[in-house]
A and B are shown apart, each in its own frame.
Chain A
């Protein structure tokens, strides 16, 4: 079945550092890919998405490119802030349709130190 693997945390960085959180997936066909973020005490918020190969999703300075050849969707940000501290989840939707449940990775806890 489908699966998502992301780097284990916690990941600790200093403010203004470059961020990469790795995500790879296994799926049949052409899934849609997502990054969600969960701030302390809150629900999952959609951060960005990509629906086909070579698409780049971006939002709030975060970017991720759908790489079919390496089955990856790594999350990057050029300069992180303390407010980016949260848990980040990579997820896929196998068929991209409304009925489709999302398959999630385990989440990566990001800690940004001032």
Chain B
């Protein structure tokens, strides 16, 4: 059984650029959630995808968008990067939306 994987591990971008982060869910899981964790803070819910449809969204602006593919892998896209977007981005997969979540190792994004 393959766990949740994320790529890339680290990424450095400059203000105004766009970034795409990727997540492969655990085998058998059809739900992927994305979180942003700023340094010293708890994770903040960005959104969740269930069977390729957005299934809940936190308090993030529209420049944060996502996709889920038929194999249930997912992407998080962030446009017009701002310095405050620097954070650890975590994805987690689950069998359904409310069940136990399995987290990936995260992508650490630095915006300069």
Instruction: Tell me if chain B binds chain A.
Output: no
Enumerate chain B interface residues (CB-CB to A < 8 A). Answer: none
Chain A interfacial positions (CB closer than 8 Å to B): none
